[in-house]
Amino acid sequence: MPDMPRARATDAAAESLGIALPVGFEALEPFRSTWGRCRSQEERNRLRAASNMEQLRALHAAGTPLLDTVFERLDHFPLGSLPEAEALLYRIVLGLAEIAPAVEIFGQPNVPNSPPLGDLKIRWSSGVRESAPEGPTRSTAGAQETTSLVKRDCERKVEIKFGRG
């Protein structure tokens, strides 16, 4: 999943607000405008760091009992091309992967004795051969958006600005 430029955050929020979750997953409704908006592991990481334990425990309590049924539903679609409603559901549930250590291990949002987690960039790369027409340097900016974390193109240009220093 590519970095989401700041200007698009608003669009994504509006988009999430207009989509209904699939029937049976109403318990996840409260997380539509938070975890449902996160488009990358980095965003989920930042949201975890900015949340308190009450918020993280609420997602954990609502999402954990639904894990089996969520993935039974998502199994019906090819990875990377989920319909809008299922993509929203998946984004919320991916929040559980981010907060599981906070709730189940640490008992606090951030890793003890560690700087806030927002400093970290994560890229998923397929390592699979790509084919491309011969020609001048291509921009990957127009690469097709996928609902999978795995990118079939190589990393796009990222202005990497980390940390607090």
Partner 1 sequence: MIDPSAHWSFARDLGLGRSWAETALHLSPETFAGERERIFRRLWLMVGRLEDVSEPGSFFVRDVPILNAEALVVRDRESTLRAFYNTCSHRGATVVNQRCGRSFTFRCPYHSWLYGADGQLRAIPSAENFPDIDPRQHGLRPIHLDVWNGFIFLNFAPAAPGQTLADFLGGLGELHATLPFDGYPFHIKMVSEFDANWKAGMHTFMEGYHITTVHKKTLTAQIVSRENPHFHFYDTRLFGPHSTLTSERNHDWRPTTPVMRFAMAQMPPAVLPRQSDSAERDFAAHPSINRIGIPNFGVETITIFPNVCLQPLGGGYLWMEFWPLAPGRTRVEVRLHSRTPPASARQEFAAALGAVAARDVLCEDFGLSAMQHRGFAMGANRRQNFGENEALLRHFMQSVEGYLNA
With contact defined as beta carbons under 8 Å apart, do 99 and 59 qualify? yes
Site of interaction with partner 1 (CB under 8 A): 41, 45, 60, 64, 67-68, 71, 74-75, 77, 79, 82, 90, 93-94, 96-98, 100-101, 103-106, 110-115, 117, 119-132, 134-140, 148-150, 154-158, 160, 162-163, 165
Of residues 112, 147, 123, 156, the one with CA closest to residue 39: 147
Return the number of the residue (8 or 156) whose C-beta is nearest partner 1: 156
CB of 84 to partner 1, least distance (A): 15
Return the number of the residue (28 or 96) whose C-beta is nearest partner 1: 96
CB of 37 to partner 1, least distance (A): 17
Return the number of the residue (31 or 90) whose C-beta is nearest partner 1: 90
Q: How far is CA 14 from CA 29, 65, 95, 97, 108, in A?
A: 15, 28, 19, 24, 30
Instruction: For residues 152 and 19, give the distance between their C-alpha atoms in angstroms, rounded to a whole number.
Output: 27
Residues 6+ apart with CB under 8 A from 19: 84, 85, 88
Return the number of the residue (14 or 50) whose C-beta is nearest partner 1: 50
C-alpha dihedral sign at 24, 29, 32, 35: negative
CB of 31 to partner 1, least distance (A): 15
CB of 94 to partner 1, least distance (A): 6
